[in-house]
Amino acid sequence: MAVYTDINEVELKAFLAEYDTGALLSFKGIAEGVENSNFLLHTDKGALILTLYEKRVEKGDLPFFLGLMHHLSDKGLSCPLPLPRKDGALLGELAGRPAALISFLEGMWLRKPEAVHCRAVGEAAAALHLAGEGFELTRRNALDLPGWQSLWAKARARADEVSPGLQAEIDAELAHLVTCWPQHLPEGVIHADLFPDNVFFLGDAVSGLIDFYFACNDAYAYDLSICLNAWCFEKDGSYNITKGKAMIEGYLSVRSLSEAEVAALPVLCRGSALRFLLTRLYDWLTTPAGALVVKKDPLEYLRKLRFHQAVITAGEYGWPQ
Amino acid sequence: MAVYTDINEVELKAFLAEYDTGALLSFKGIAEGVENSNFLLHTDKGALILTLYEKRVEKGDLPFFLGLMHHLSDKGLSCPLPLPRKDGALLGELAGRPAALISFLEGMWLRKPEAVHCRAVGEAAAALHLAGEGFELTRRNALDLPGWQSLWAKARARADEVSPGLQAEIDAELAHLVTCWPQHLPEGVIHADLFPDNVFFLGDAVSGLIDFYFACNDAYAYDLSICLNAWCFEKDGSYNITKGKAMIEGYLSVRSLSEAEVAALPVLCRGSALRFLLTRLYDWLTTPAGALVVKKDPLEYLRKLRFHQAVITAGEYGWPQ
C-alpha cells in the first residue's frame, strides 16, 4: 500500500500541461509499489500511471530506470513506458518530488501463482536478460554483498529482538558468503525484484513486467535465484520443486546457463535469501509504528535461507538432471 | 486510504462469474473511502468499482444504500450504480465480506475547492434532496442526537487527553443541543457525509456524488449544515462567507427553505460540527497505532463548533439578507 504523497488538482493540471495526454477524467491513489506514490489516471486518450518518486529512490538513478524501460520496450519486452514531456524529458516534478507519467499495463499480479505461471516468469526473466543487452547505462547493484554488509552493520545490534540467535546466524552466513560468493558469472541488466506483484498476467500469459526500481547490473543467475526465492516456496515454508522445475525450464527455453552458473545456483539462492532477510529486518526495526505500510516478515527469508544452506546441487531446485 | 482486505484472482474470478461484466483486465486497490475496501477494475467493457463492505458498515443497511443509489440514478442524479448479478441481486460475497460491483464515475474530488464549486455542491445537495423523494426504504440516522450521546459516553472519560477542558465543553454543548434541537423540520433522504472527497468534478461542474454509506432520513437543512462545515472553512479555521453564500445560493436555486429551516441553521451547524468532532474523537482514541488509516484531527471540528456557537442568524453564513 503506497500513497505517501497526496496531490491536488491544481498542481496535477500544471504537471500534465507539460505533456500531451488528453483531458484528465479522474485520478486515484493506488495500493501498488512500496517505494513510491502511484496514481491511476484516466484521460480521454486512455489510462496512465503517475509515479511520484519518494526519498527512498535516488534521483540520480532515475535516468537509468526510465531509460531501461524504454530500451526494454524497444526490444519487444512488455513493460511500462515513460511518456516524454513536450520538451522530451522523461521526468517532471510534482508536489516537490520527481514524477513520471507511465503507460498503463493491463494485467493482474497473482496472489496464488501455479507452476504454469512460474514457467512463464522464468521465460520472462530470461527474455529481460537478453533484451537488456546493449543498454548503454549501467547501475551498480546497491544491494550486493558489500551492500548487505553495510545494511547488516545498521541492524545487527538489534537482530536478536526479532529472533533470538539471529545475530550469530547472519554473522556466520555473511562470513560464508564472503569466502565463496561467485565471481565472473555472465552478467548484465537484471530486474532484481521480480516478485509476484511485479509480474502481470492476462490468463496464464505474462502481460508485462513492472517496477524496475531495483534494476541494476549483476549476474543473470542471481536474478533467477531471486525468482526461485520469490515464487517457488509455499506458505508453509516448503520448497515446491514442481514450480522450481517449471521456472528453470522456462528460463532455459529462452537463455541457456553456463556450467558455472548452474554450479553457483545454491550459493546465489543463499545470497538472495539473505538480501531480502536483511532489507526486511532493517525495515522491521526502523519503520515507525503507524506508518502506512505493511511490514513484511523477515523470518520468512530466514526459513528460506536455511533451506538453501542444505542444498548442494541445482538439481534440488528442479534443474534437469 | 483504504484497502483493508486484499483479494486474490481465484476468488475474484468466482465472484465476477455471477455478473455479466466482460473479461477482467486488471484490478487495483484504491485509496478511496474510509469504511470499506475499494478496487478499481478494468474490463473489456469498461471500468468498475468493486467495494468490499468491512465490519463498520451494518450488513442490514446495505439494501437501503444500494437501493438508494438506484433510485437516485433513476431520478437523474449522477451517482454510482450497483450492477445487478445475473440472479438480480445487488450484493454478492467476496473474501468473506458482502461485496458489490458499482459503475465507475469519472471525475475528481477537489483538494482546493473554490466558491464556484461550493455553489455547485449546494445545487447537488438540493437536487439529491428532491431526487430522494419517493424512495420507499428508510434508515434512521444512527448519528443523530441520541447517537452522539452514546458515542460521547464511550469517549468522554478520555476526552481531556486530546485537549484539556474538552470534556466540560462537550458536556455543555450536548446539554444545550438537547434543549433546543429543532423538531419537525422538513426531512427526507440526506447524504449526511457530503465532504469534498465524495463529490466528483469535471472542470467546474459536478460529475457525480459518491459514498452513500451514511445516507439516512433526517432534516434536509441538517445536510446543508454538514456541507457548510465541510466546504466553507479555510485551513486556518476561518469561515469563508463567500463560499457559504455561494453554497446557499446554489441550494436555493434548486430547493427553497422554510423560515423554520433558515432559523435553525446555526443550531444545525453546531450539531453537525459536534457530530464530526465526536466521531473523530472516538476514532482518535480507539484507532490502534499502526492502522492503515490517517487519523483526522478532532480539534478541527472543535474550532468550527466554537465559530457556530457565536452565530445568531443564518445571515452570518451568507444567507441572502
- Do A111 and B200 lie within an 8 Å CB cutoff? no
Q: Mean pLDDT, to the nearest integer, of B77-102?
A: 95
Please state, in angstroms and rounded to a whole number, the distance separating the CA atoms of residues B26 and A107: 5
- Do A30 and B26 lie within an 8 Å CB cutoff? no
Asked if the domains A9-103 and A115-317 are classified in one and the same CATH topology, the answer is no
Size of interface A-B (CB pairs under 8 A): 88
**pLDDT of A212 above 80:** yes
Closest partner residue to A30 (CB to CB) among B30, B47, B292 is B30
DSSP per-residue letters across B87-100:
TS-S-EEETTEEEE
- Residue pLDDT, tens place only, A237-290: 999 999 999 999 999 999 999 999 999 999 999 999 999 999 999 999 987 665
Q: Is residue B304 within 8 Å of B233, Cβ to Cβ?
A: yes
Percent of chain A topping pLDDT 90: 88
Closest chain A C-alpha to B126 CA, distance in angstroms: 25
- Do A290 and B290 lie within an 8 Å CB cutoff? yes
How many other β-carbons are positioned within 10 Å of the β-carbon of residue A17? 11
Nearest Cα to Cα of residue B264 among B310, B209, B304, B222: B222
- Do B9 and A112 lie within an 8 Å CB cutoff? yes
Closest chain A C-alpha to B1 CA, distance in angstroms: 8
Closest chain A C-alpha to B203 CA, distance in angstroms: 9
Write down the pLDDT at residue B127: 98
- Do A107 and B26 lie within an 8 Å CB cutoff? yes
Give the torsion sign (CA, A308, A313, A315, A318).
Answer: positive
Please state, in angstroms and rounded to a whole number, the distance separating the CA atoms of residues A64 and A137: 6
- Do B24 and A108 lie within an 8 Å CB cutoff? yes
- Do B290 and A292 lie within an 8 Å CB cutoff? no
Please state, in angstroms and rounded to a whole number, the distance separating the CA atoms of residues A227 and A244: 9
Residues with Cβ within 8 Å of residue B312, at least 6 apart in sequence: B266
Closest partner residue to A26 (CB to CB) among B31, B106, B291 is B106
Nearest Cα to Cα of residue A101 among A75, A66, A77, A56: A66
- Do B40 and A29 lie within an 8 Å CB cutoff? no
- Do B29 and A106 lie within an 8 Å CB cutoff? no
- Residue pLDDT, tens place only, A285-311: 987 665 555 678 999 999 999 999 999
Write down the pLDDT at residue A96: 93
Average pLDDT, chain B: 94
Please state, in angstroms and rounded to a whole number, the distance separating the CA atoms of residues B118 and B106: 19
ipTM: 0.87
- Do B292 and A294 lie within an 8 Å CB cutoff? yes
CA distances from A277 to A152, A274, A303, A305, B125 (A): 10, 5, 9, 8, 53
Q: CA angle, corner B9, sides to B87 and A119, nearest 5?
A: 140
Please state, in angstroms and rounded to a whole number, the distance separating the CA atoms of residues A1 and A292: 7
Q: Mean pLDDT, to the nearest integer, of B216-225?
A: 98
Query: pTM of the prediction?
Result: 0.90
- Do A30 and B28 lie within an 8 Å CB cutoff? yes
| Chain A residues close to B290, C-beta within 8 Å | 289-291
| Chain B residues close to A283, C-beta within 8 Å | none
Q: How many residues make up chain A in this entry?
A: 321
**pLDDT of B3 above 70:** no
| Chain B residues close to A107, C-beta within 8 Å | 25-26
Q: Chain B: which residues have CB within 8 Å of chain A? A: 1, 3, 6-10, 24-32, 40, 42, 47, 105-108, 110-112, 200, 202, 289-292, 294
Amino acid occupying residue A137 = L
| Chain A residues close to B292, C-beta within 8 Å | 1, 292, 294
Amino acid occupying residue A276 = F
- Residue pLDDT, tens place only, A17-65: 999 998 999 999 998 776 789 999 999 999 999 999 988 888 999 999 9
- Do A26 and B290 lie within an 8 Å CB cutoff? no
Best of A7, A10, A28, A235 to disrupt the B interface by mutation (most B CBs within 10 Å)?
A28
- Do B30 and A29 lie within an 8 Å CB cutoff? yes
| Chain A residues close to B1, C-beta within 8 Å | 1, 3, 29, 31, 292
Please state, in angstroms and rounded to a whole number, the distance separating the CA atoms of residues A118 and A97: 36
How is residue A76 written as a grid cell? 519487444
- Residue pLDDT, tens place only, A141-168: 999 999 999 999 999 999 999 999 999 9
Best of A111, A207, A295 to disrupt the B interface by mutation (most B CBs within 10 Å)?
A111
**pLDDT of A1 above 50:** no
- Do B10 and A112 lie within an 8 Å CB cutoff? yes
Amino acid occupying residue A221 = A
How many other β-carbons are positioned within 10 Å of the β-carbon of residue A167? 18
Write down the pLDDT at residue A57: 84
- Do B294 and A290 lie within an 8 Å CB cutoff? no
| Chain A residues close to B50, C-beta within 8 Å | none
DSSP per-residue letters across A173-241:
HHHHHHHH---S--EEEE-S---GGGEEEETTEEEEE---TT-EEEEHHHHHHHHHHHHSB-TTS-B-H
| Chain B residues close to A6, C-beta within 8 Å | 111
Burial class (CB in 10 A: 0-12, 13-18, 19+), A103: middle
Lowest mean pLDDT among B219-233, B243-257, B260-274, B276-290: B276-290
Write down the pLDDT at residue A292: 53
Residue of A nearest to B4 (CA): A1
CA distances from B247 to B218, B240, B260 (A): 20, 11, 19
Closest chain B C-alpha to A30 CA, distance in angstroms: 4
Average pLDDT, chain A: 94
**pLDDT of B289 above 70:** no
| Chain A residues close to B40, C-beta within 8 Å | 28, 30, 40
- Residue pLDDT, tens place only, B132-182: 999 999 999 999 999 999 999 999 999 999 999 999 999 999 999 999 999
Burial class (CB in 10 A: 0-12, 13-18, 19+), B203: exposed
Residue of B nearest to A43 (CA): B106
Going by pLDDT thresholds of 50, 70 and 90, the confidence category of residue B306 is very high
Write down the pLDDT at residue A243: 98
Burial class (CB in 10 A: 0-12, 13-18, 19+), A121: buried
Best of B108, B112, B116 to disrupt the A interface by mutation (most A CBs within 10 Å)?
B108
Residue of A nearest to B31 (CA): A29
Best of B6, B9, B202 to disrupt the A interface by mutation (most A CBs within 10 Å)?
B9
Lowest mean pLDDT among A76-90, A189-203, A293-307, B158-172: A293-307
| CATH architecture, domain B115-317 | Alpha-Beta Complex (3.90)
**Residue spans per domain, chain A:** 9-103, 115-317
- Fold type of domain B9-103: Phosphorylase Kinase; domain 1 (3.30.200)
